Structure 1
Amino acid sequence: MQENNNNPYVLGPVKEWKMTLEELAAYVEKHPIIYREELKPSVGLTMRLPS
């Protein structure tokens, strides 16, 4: 019996993405991380540890 490998949760080979510091700086300059207030989680969703 042959096993079907269509399960996306099964671990497969890991491809490591290596980038030099210069390539990283160029990437961040081209794709800046933009902080947006509406993307913050609401106060009601933040988890609080019991004291």
Structure 2
Amino acid sequence: MPQMMPLNWLSLMMFFILIFYLFNNLNFFNFLMKSKSYTSKIKKLKYNWKW
């Protein structure tokens, strides 16, 4: 049915945009948490080293 083709492409585009958005958010927050935990470990090590 050629009438349904725009809806099909639209749903496909929305699906890929959603996947792309979720993947980017996962990457962003994963590296954000890694950097925070890394800095907290450095602070703890500096504190332990001084004592």
Q: TM bucket by the smaller chain?
A: under 0.3
- Output the TM-score relative to the length of structure 2: 0.25
More helix by share: 2
- TM-score under structure 1 normalisation? 0.25
